[in-house]
Amino acid sequence: MLKIENLHVAVGGKEILKGLDLEIEAGSVHAIMGPNGAGKSTLSYALAGRDSYEVTAGSVTYLGKDLLELDPHERAGEGLFLGFQYPVEIPGVSTMNFLRTSLNAVRRYRGLEDMDAVTFLRLVKEKAAALDMNPDMLKRAVNVGFSGGEKKRNEMVQMAVLEPTLAVLDETDSGLDIDALKVVADGINALRSPERAALLITHYQRLLDYVVPDFVHVLFDGKIVKSGGKELALELEEKGYAAVA
């Protein structure tokens, strides 16, 4: 589904990713772990197509297409979803309006008609309930005044509504208490299917207790230095990155 080859990415002229290789098959869940500054967030932003993340070499193929040729909104249209480490506050745009605009934009990209208001409302309420989100929050401006946990939950509601083919979740577990973590994990697990895949970017092994990955990779200084099964996460937790890398 996703094939990253020799990816080099620079931010502000500084090279952060230095030849990263990764391949993700449909139906699998991958976790990338690594210390601060290893390039975890850079990878997620580069995949989503953020402006200031300059790809200087390498290629990314997604569902047979050159992902790097696509604009960020086209990548989303193709089924890529980035769960933000720091979800952005947007005063003046209600969460509901944001979700509707987003879903319909993606549907239009795929040649589908806009979803009618009644069906949409039912869908959002159902997804929000499944993720324990208070329906009142849907009326509030996107992430404005939300706690850290509520923001992450909101990311999960967006993901549930958009039903991405590939979800890249950048430290979705950070700042969550154990109850919220379980809810978020349920949200991710609910989307697991043979057609979909997920890439979890995380600092800690904690999330992986609830979303059990098929593969774990260690990112260190801009490259994947080690890959393994779910037991690698435990080893990292125990011995630290330096020993494993």
Which residues of this chain interact with other proteins, rule CB under 8 A? 48-51, 71-73, 75-77, 81-82, 84, 87-93, 98, 101-103, 105-106, 109, 141, 158, 162
238 C-beta neighbours (distance < 10 Å), count: 10
> Tokens for 87?
């979800």
Q: Based on CB atoms, which residue is closest to other proteins, 50 or 192?
A: 50
Q: Based on CB atoms, which residue is closest to other proteins, 58 or 164?
A: 164
Task: Quote the least distance from Cβ 140 to other proteins, whole Å.
Answer: 12
Q: Which residues contact residue 111 at a Cβ distance below 8 angstroms, ignoring those fewer than 6 apart?
A: none
Q: Which residues contact residue 210 at a Cβ distance below 8 angstroms, ignoring those fewer than 6 apart?
A: 181, 182, 185, 186, 189
Relative to beta strand 166-170, strand 80-83 is: parallel
Q: Based on CB atoms, which residue is closest to other proteins, 103 or 208?
A: 103
Residue 114 DSSP label = P
Task: Quote the least distance from Cβ 90 to other proteins, whole Å.
Answer: 5
Q: Based on CB atoms, which residue is closest to other proteins, 109 or 204?
A: 109
Task: Quote the least distance from Cβ 73 to other proteins, whole Å.
Answer: 5
Q: Which residues contact residue 9 at a Cβ distance below 8 angstroms, ignoring those fewer than 6 apart?
A: 15, 16, 17, 39, 42, 43, 46, 53, 54, 55, 56
Task: Quote the least distance from Cβ 237 to other proteins, whole Å.
Answer: 30
Q: Based on CB atoms, which residue is closest to other proteins, 67 or 82?
A: 82
Task: Quote the least distance from Cβ 34 to other proteins, whole Å.
Answer: 22
Task: Quote the least distance from Cβ 242 to other proteins, whole Å.
Answer: 33
Angstrom distance (rounded) from CA 206 to CA 10: 30
Residue 218 Cα distances to 30, 166, 214, 244, angstroms: 11, 20, 14, 8
Q: Which residues contact residue 29 at a Cβ distance below 8 angstroms, ignoring those fewer than 6 apart?
A: 188, 192, 197, 198, 199, 200, 211, 212, 213, 214, 215
